[in-house]
Chain A
Amino acid sequence: GAGVSQTPSNKVTEKGKYVELRCDPISGHTALYWYRQSLGQGPEFLIYFQGTGAADDSGLPNDRFFAVRPEGSVSTLKIQRTERGDSAVYLCASSIGLAAYNEQFFGPGTRLTVL
Chain B
Amino acid sequence: KNEVEQSPQNLTAQEGEFITINCSYSVGISALHWLQQHPGGGIVSLFMLSSGKKKHGRLIATINIQEKHSSLHITASHPRDSAVYICAVLNYGGSQGNLIFGKGTKLSVKP
Which residues of A are interface residues toward B (Cβ below 8 A)? 31, 33, 35, 37, 40-45, 47-50, 55-56, 58-59, 89, 91, 93, 98-106, 108-109, 111
Contact = CB atoms under 8 A, between A and B. Distances in A.
B44 interface: yes
13 contacts: A40-B103, A42-B86, A42-B88, A43-B43, A55-B96, A98-B96, A99-B31, A99-B96, A99-B97, A102-B48, A106-B43, A109-B42, A111-B41
A10 to B, nearest CB: 11
A91 B37 CA distance: 12
Given A42-B102, A100-B30, A104-B33, A50 B96 contact: yes
A45 B98 contact: yes
B111 to A, nearest CB: 26
Interface of B: 4, 30-31, 33, 35, 40-45, 48, 50, 86, 88, 90, 95-104
Nearest to A9: B41
A55 B97 contact: yes
Nearest to A104: B45
B62 to A, nearest CB: 18
A84 B6 CA distance: 29
A22 B101 CA distance: 23
A91 B43 contact: yes
A56 B93 CA distance: 13
Nearest to B95: A56
Nearest to A110: B41
A109 B31 CA distance: 24
Contacts of B33: 103-104
A103 B48 contact: yes
A89 B44 CA distance: 16
B98 A108 contact: no
Contacts of A105: 45
Contact of A106 (B40, B42, B90): B42
